[in-house]
Amino acid sequence: MNRLVFTLAALLAAAPAMAQDANDTNAAALIAKFAAEAGITADAEAGKAFFLANQAGGGADTPSCTSCHTADPRAMGEARTGKPIEPMALSVNPKRFTDTAFVDKWFGRNCDSVLGRECTSAEKANVLAYYSSL
């Protein structure tokens, strides 16, 4: 009985850490969803240009996606705090884009940090297509 309680408690405690692996979606499904919302066909080249561009309107320390993710999505990134960020490219990091809540949270935060606004569905579809094309 104690053991069961302990196991349940351990699972509960670990739940937030596992949230990133909800496994309720994947990159292709998200691209399809965002592209449908925008009424476009996802374009990896447009996504690359968006990823590399210097944006206006965001925070002074985060002018571009590359500020933290580096210009190569296949490489490790680094937050301004020094914390490493796993690669974005699906080819080197297949666990990316498998958790709807996680994807929504970080698009929500980082689009605001870099652009000072929410990303459009077209921008999301394109950049995800770019990450998937590498």
Tell whether residue 81 is a contact of other proteins (CB under 8 A). yes
Of 48, 62, 88, 126, which lies in the binding site for other proteins, with binding defined by CB under 8 A? 62
Q: Is 109 in the site for other proteins (CB under 8 A)?
A: yes
Query: DSSP letter string over the chain?
Result: -HHHHHHHHHHHHHHHHHGGG--S--HHHHHHHHHHHHTS---HHHHHHHHHSPPSSS-TT-SSTHHHH-S-TTS-EE-TTS-EE----TTT-TTTT--HHHHHHHHHHHHHHHHSSPPPHHHHHHHHHHHHH-
Residues of this chain, 27-46, that bind other proteins according to CB under 8 A: none
* Interaction between residue 100 and other proteins (CB under 8 A): no
Q: From the list 33, 50, 80, 95, which residue makes contact with other proteins (rule: CB under 8 A)?
A: 80
Tell whether residue 19 is a contact of other proteins (CB under 8 A).
Answer: yes
Which residues of this chain interact with other proteins, rule CB under 8 A? Answer: 12-13, 15-17, 19, 59-62, 78-83, 108-110, 112-113
